[in-house]
A = this chain, B = another copy of it.
């Protein structure tokens, strides 16, 4: 490891002191213009790059946002990160990223690690299995901003950005019904996760409103990816033909696509025999055939707003008491998988 240039090196080269160099570089009015010029030129020519760790240790500010997501490698989350990064880089902040891999233990470890690394706060999409929130205590206790994005704690008043999953689910369910579906299957996720709870509630309320039966054999609460979507579809196929669904409400696009492949392999025509709606509007939803109708969650926008919220919280007198909640509009994007009648 070679030695790096420090302000002391610059000071020595100019026969002045570190104090003066520091001030000159910061553009302090206390330093004369000629000195400023000389310092800057010297810093430039020596290839000086300030040591952010020393600065942050001294000032307590670090220009670092910790971001924790279940997985980097999913369109939804990487778009959120994209949104966060867009605002952050604008403000001169860097982001440090950790994957919880939907494991609370890893999430907890990441919170600690990031706190150690003295991030200026955290933006978090909760792991699928997270139902207790004690591991965020160090952040709250130290008064750092903590913003949740999309997957947020249930029954807890904390700053967050999300979409109105309940309303979104309602619009999706109503759409299926208007397409003529009567026996609608529900492939959802664990109800302890806020968003899945809301989606199911929206679905159930609409079914009730239209006086349609919710058929237990067609309801699955652990079908949140491609494989599990396939598995649930296979279970449905084990029913008698007369009990087959004519509609599918899936809580994730991957679920919907998994189910689509199985149903089509088994002779279902989509949307004629079975209308399918997904959730999330992942890029692939528009590439499969037929395209999957889906709820657009404005993932980039969610990240973007969460990042803005972060900086707002930071400015507030006590960030740990900052509890602004933003709900972004969502919209149903209708595609071939549920379009029996042109709109």
Contact = CB atoms under 8 A, between A and B. Distances in A.
Contacts of A149: none
A73 B82 CA distance: 6
Interface in A278-319: 283-284, 287-289, 300
A57 B60 contact: no
Interface string A258-274: 00000000000000000
State which size class the interface on A falls in: 35 or more
A326 B57 CA distance: 38
Contacts of A334: none
Interface of A: 1-2, 4, 47, 49-54, 56-57, 60, 62-64, 71-75, 78-79, 81-82, 85, 89, 92, 94-99, 112-118, 137-138, 141-144, 257, 283-284, 287-289, 300
A115 B5 CA distance: 12
B141 A47 contact: yes
Nearest to A285: B287
A98 B283 CA distance: 22
Nearest to A62: B53
B288 A142 contact: no
Given A2-B142, A54-B57, A142-B2, A98 B116 contact: no
A120 to B, nearest CB: 9
B72 A99 contact: no
B75 A73 contact: yes
Contacts of A95: 96-97
Contact of A56 (B53, B71, B78, B257): B53
Nearest to A289: B289
Contacts of A63: 117
Contacts of A82: 71-73, 99
Contacts of A78: 72-74, 78
14 contacts: A1-B144, A2-B143, A47-B138, A49-B115, A53-B53, A54-B57, A64-B117, A71-B82, A72-B72, A72-B82, A81-B97, A95-B97, A96-B97, A257-B287
